[in-house]
Structure formats: structure tokens, C-alpha cells
Amino acid sequence: MTLKEFGLFLLAIFTSAAGQLCLKFGAMRLGKVNATNWLSHLLAVFTTPELLVGLCFYGIGALVYILLLTRVNLSVAGPSAALIYVFSVMMGYFFFQEAIPLSRSVGLGLIICGVLLVIWQK
């Protein structure tokens, strides 16, 4: 993966992770969905700014990912996208004070090692 490709990769990861963060903020604003309020919640998706921004970030992330796929093999780009999981856990910790138990930390470490092995070039 060249430096330009790595830049595209990071942009795709960061915009997708930012999308997840915005979607979580929007979901918190909506509140819990149940059998009686699902329709109003569904309609509120289109009027909740955090959700709209999150969807825009996801769209940008998808477009950048498509550009990355024009330059990098899917067998590299696909598994490497797993870094979104790492950023999601970190955002949960920093923004929502979610705990990261040891087992999750080990899992994140394995994901990072796996991505490094996938993108490694000699």
C-alpha cells in the first residue's frame, strides 16, 4: 500500500468512524425504539441533525472506499476496514465512558495485528 493509498484508507476509516459517532449521538437523542414508537422514530431520522450528519459521513466514507478499491486489492482493503471496529471502541470509551474489558482489549490488539499482517509488503 503506497502512501497515497494509505491516506485514502485512513480517510475512509476516519469518515466511517465519525459517521458511527454521529449516529450514536443521534440515536441517544431519539431514545429507545419500541413497538409503539417505531414509526415516529423512523420519521425522526430525517429531522435529527446528528443522524443526517452521520449518514453523510458514511456516504463520504463509502465514496473514498470506492476510490481506494480502484487502487488496492479487495483482499487488502476489505480486512483492513476492520480498523473501524478499533476506532468505534475507542470512541465509545472517550465519548460515552464505555468500559473496555481485558478481553475486548485483546481482541482489538488482534485486529490491529491482523490488519498489519494483511497490509504488510516486503
What pLDDT, on the 0 to 100 scale, is given for residue 86? 94
What pLDDT, on the 0 to 100 scale, is given for residue 29? 93
The rounded distance, in Å, linking the Cα atoms of 12 and 102 is 28
What pLDDT, on the 0 to 100 scale, is given for residue 119? 84
What pLDDT, on the 0 to 100 scale, is given for residue 1? 75
Question: What are the residues whose beta carbons fall under 8 Å from the beta carbon of 95, sequence distance 6 or more?
Answer: 21, 24
What pLDDT, on the 0 to 100 scale, is given for residue 92? 94
Nearest to 27, CA basis, from 58, 59, 57, 54:
54
Rounded mean pLDDT for each run of 10 residues along the chain, 122 residues in total: 88 95 94 90 92 96 95 90 93 96 96 90 72
What pLDDT, on the 0 to 100 scale, is given for residue 2? 84
Q: Which domain holds residue 92?
A: 3-119
For the chain, the domain total comes to 1
What pLDDT, on the 0 to 100 scale, is given for residue 6? 87
- DSSP string of 78-92? HHHTTHHHHHHHHHH
What is the pTM (predicted TM-score) of this model?
0.85
